[in-house]
Structure 1
Amino acid sequence: MFNDADETLKQYLTAAIPIANGEVDISFERPSREWSGRLSRPTLNCFLYDIRERSGFRDDTATRIADGKGGFRAQRPPRRIDLSYMVTAWAREAEDEHRILARTLAAMYRAGEIDRRFFQGHLLESEYPVLARIVPPDHVAKPADLWGVLDNELRTSLVWVLTVPLDAFTPVEGPLVTTRELHVGAIGEDWRETFIQVAGTAHRRGAPGETVPGVRVSVAGTALRMVTGPDGRFNFPGVPPGDHTIRFETEDGVSGERAISVPGSSYDIEL
């Protein structure tokens, strides 16, 4: 994922600075003395020197999607990770370095969010944006100390932080919940009041994987009634235990009913 962020950053800078073919190289290597000694062309170096979670964006609320076969798929959102790049320019003349840095800084100011047309690799599959912000060069480490570790001379640098999504969690698959029971009572007493919620899906007869939206569903003898959603699902809170009849009617006037027992294993209906 991080290499995809590198390539995305490269594509953006090439277009936004802009960089003509062969005019300036873009490198993500450590700007050590050995590396800089091998340079023969003007180079913009984007050194990834810090990785950490942007904890303010953390969200552990899983998204549940019905699979149309009586099950569901739950996926926790990705973690949002800050990638801190130290950006430096390398050329024979100082004025060339300053020209490259000025164009780069202008491109950085124009991008609070990287346009999706520059996305590469796994980022193309993500629905989350890639955010970008400029920060002071000492927001993680002091520049002089960092250059000392790199065994190179202190250079003018910009720090650009990209916030990228990292899919860290495997989706969980399982059966859909059809019955939910809530028991309410006073602590220390045996008495309990029970609330039961039941849920089901309207299917096309002979095609269990095809759900039917817009079906009016009700529980006979009660005020419980609703219309199935886009996924064909319906649910009723506060259904008393015992035997009941579910009545249904489609948008084109097809109606019917089905006997159920609460609690039960399924309340699905076929049309």
Structure 2
Amino acid sequence: MIHEVDEVLRALFRTDVLEGAQIAVVFDAPTREWAAKVNAPTINLYLYDIREDMRLRERGLHNEYDARGVVVARRRPPRFFKLSYLITAWTKRPEDEHRLLSSLLACLLRHESLPSERLTGALADIGVAVPMTVALPPPEDRSFADVWSALGGELKPSLDLVVSVPVTESPVYPVGPPVTDEGLRLGFTDHDPQGPPAGSTARERTPAGAELPIYGRQPGRPDPAAREPGTGEPGAGTSPGAERRRQAGIGRRISEERRG
């Protein structure tokens, strides 16, 4: 990804800023030793920092579909990494350097992201915008003076360009087959509210002739709608609604049928 961003920036500056001028575009570290060897007008884009852009991190998983539109896998969304470039101009006269920096700044301000028509390779395949910012204040944990001190050079006018690059390298999680209407089918039928005898399981015969268990009451557990023996009164814990259903002789039960 990094080398592809380098090529996009180089092509953008050569086309929109330099317009055929004999000015080199390099990515070297602007150290004191390197500066002493510069003998021609040069634009330097030094990549000095790489870190994740936490503001653009997404949660969850993205679906991957086949030609039928069925989900076949899931993967994590892209993670964006900030590539920070220190842009400097090197000529024999400071006025010429300032003119170059002005042209570079105007070019970058015309774009909120890398031009999509210039993206190549993996950047073009992802199909996601590559945002960039220029000349923003540095973060609190870093200053440009510290960058120059680390390079061993003298402080020089520069532009700070930050490009947020999407990276899609992540584990792929295959998914199971799609759910169909074949298999277990649930339905409701009327039944005797007294239920099956204690310790037994009610069963129902399907149209195919198979006997399947009927769920809705734990086997062996007393029916709360049953009457107390010898009293004719509802048992303990019986609700009025259950008693009315018992008197009406209507109940509901859940049955299952497995289709072949």
Normalised TM-score (structure 2):
0.65
Q: CA deviation at 1:241?
A: 6.7
Tell whether the 8 Å contact from 2:62 to 2:74 is kept in structure 1 after alignment.
yes
Query: What CA distance in whole angstroms lies between the structure 2 residues aligned with 1:35 and 1:121?
Result: 31
Q: Secondary structure at the match of 1:60?
A: coil
Note if 1:158 corresponds to 2:172. no
Specify every segment of 5 or more residues in structure 2 that has no aligned partner in the other structure, as ranges: 185-214, 217-253
Kindly indicate which of the two structures has a greater share of residues assigned to strand.
1
In the alignment, which residue of structure 1 is the partner of 2:130?
Answer: 130
In the alignment, which residue of structure 2 is the partner of 1:104?
Answer: 104
Give the direction of change, closer, same or farther, for the CA distance of 1:128–1:172 in structure 2 (3 Å limit): same
Query: What CA distance in whole angstroms lies between the structure 2 residues aligned with 1:172 and 1:41?
Result: 53
Tell whether the 8 Å contact from 2:83 to 2:164 is kept in structure 1 after alignment.
yes
Query: What CA distance in whole angstroms lies between the structure 2 residues aligned with 1:39 and 1:4?
Result: 25
Query: What CA distance in whole angstroms lies between the structure 2 residues aligned with 1:71 and 1:126?
Result: 19
Kindly indicate which of the two structures has a greater share of residues assigned to helix.
2
Give the direction of change, closer, same or farther, for the CA distance of 1:130–1:66 in structure 2 (3 Å limit): closer
Cα RMSD between the aligned structures?
2.8
Query: What CA distance in whole angstroms lies between the structure 2 residues aligned with 1:22 and 1:172?
Result: 51
Q: CA deviation at 1:26?
A: 1.0
Q: Secondary structure at the match of 1:30?
A: coil
Query: What CA distance in whole angstroms lies between the structure 2 residues aligned with 1:73 and 1:82?
Result: 28
Note if 1:50 corresponds to 2:49. yes
Tell whether the 8 Å contact from 2:79 to 2:168 is kept in structure 1 after alignment.
yes
Tell whether the 8 Å contact from 2:78 to 2:167 is kept in structure 1 after alignment.
yes
In the alignment, which residue of structure 2 is the partner of 1:5?
Answer: 5
Query: What CA distance in whole angstroms lies between the structure 2 residues aligned with 1:28 and 1:8?
Result: 13
Query: What CA distance in whole angstroms lies between the structure 1 residues aligned with 2:54 and 2:33?
Result: 36
Give the direction of change, closer, same or farther, for the CA distance of 1:177–1:118 in structure 2 (3 Å limit): same
In the alignment, which residue of structure 2 is the partner of 1:206?
Answer: none
Query: What CA distance in whole angstroms lies between the structure 1 residues aligned with 2:71 and 2:62?
Result: 14
Q: Tell me the amino acid that sits aligned with residue 60 of structure 2.
A: T
Equivalences, count: 189
CA deviation profile, 1:209-248 (whole Å, cap 9, x unmatched)? xxxxxxxxxxxxxxxxxxxxxxxxxxxxxxx87337xxxx
CA deviation profile, 1:74-119 (whole Å, cap 9, x unmatched)? 1211101111111110011111111110100101111112211111
Identity across aligned pairs (percent)?
29
Specify every segment of 5 or more residues in structure 1 that has no aligned partner in the other structure, as ranges: 182-191, 194-239, 245-259, 262-271
Normalised TM-score (structure 1):
0.62
